[in-house]
Amino acid sequence: MSNLNRLLLGLVVCLLCVTGITESGLANEQKEKQGQLEIVGVPAQAVAGTYYTKTDVFYADVQDIEGAFVRITYDDLVIIGRVVEWRRKDNYLKVTVDASLEQKDMNIIADQIEYFTEEERLLAEGNLQVTTEDATVYADRMVHLEKEEKTDFFANVAVHITDGKLFGDHFVIYSAEDRMEFIGSFRGEFDR
């Protein structure tokens, strides 16, 4: 094979690689995130919710219907509750009354769970209990940033680990690095 042929072959391979990378990048960018909201256990004649057609605000309230609940599935998130407010224009979701969230590595129980779908920012507060693979965390409120894989817990934080309990005011979990840390002072109680 002459040098010219080798050069041409090399150019073609490079072009194919570049094209492939660009197309895959575009495909990822264009991928739409899909979700589903189900209102379950509501008798046929009972009002399950409302939808305001001008403002695109969706409400579901099934707290007075025994056994009824709302389940939202979004990517790898499953959020369950009995009262849901969904402001579509703001990409904002608020779930209250028996609210819980399940994710691949984290389960949340709280009085209120808010999720900003575009930013992938999650807020939870009130009787908060978060269970991860390594610990169970109690706090007044939490902020989870999905893109940064970081979760902050604020106020009255109690972390229950296998052989002890840790108490402080600001606790952070860095999921990607598999690391946890307290910001500021904290107190520990360990089992012998």
Partner 1 sequence: MRLTKKRVIILLMAILVLLLIWFCNFRPKTESQSPKQEAGVSFSNVYLVGNESGVKQWELVSKSLKQDGDKFHLDDLEYLLLLENSKPKYFVEAQKGLWDRKAQVLTLDNDVVVDDHKGFRLLTNSLLWYTEEDVFYFHGDTIVTFEEGGVANE
Q: Which residues bind partner 1 (CB under 8 A)?
A: 32-54, 56, 58, 60, 88-91, 117-118
Closest approach of partner 1 to the CB of residue 151, in Å: 22
CB 68 within 8 A of CB 61: no
> 53 and 89 in contact (C-beta within 8 Å)?
no
- The CB-of-25 to partner 1 minimum distance in angstroms stands at 19
Query: Considering beta carbons, is residue 23 or 90 the nearer one to partner 1?
Result: 90
Minimum Å gap between C-beta 67 and partner 1 is 12
Nearer to partner 1 by Cβ, of 65 and 135: the residue is: 65
- Report the residue number, 41 or 167, with the smaller CB distance to partner 1: 41
Output the smallest distance, CB 15 to partner 1, in A.
Answer: 33
Nearer to partner 1, 65 or 109 (CB): 65
Taking the C-alpha atoms of residue 191 and residue 64, their distance in angstroms, rounded to an integer, is 44
CB 53 within 8 A of CB 77: no
Please provide the DSSP assignment of 103-137 as one string.
ETTEEEEEEEEEEETTTTEEEEEEEEEEE-SS-EE
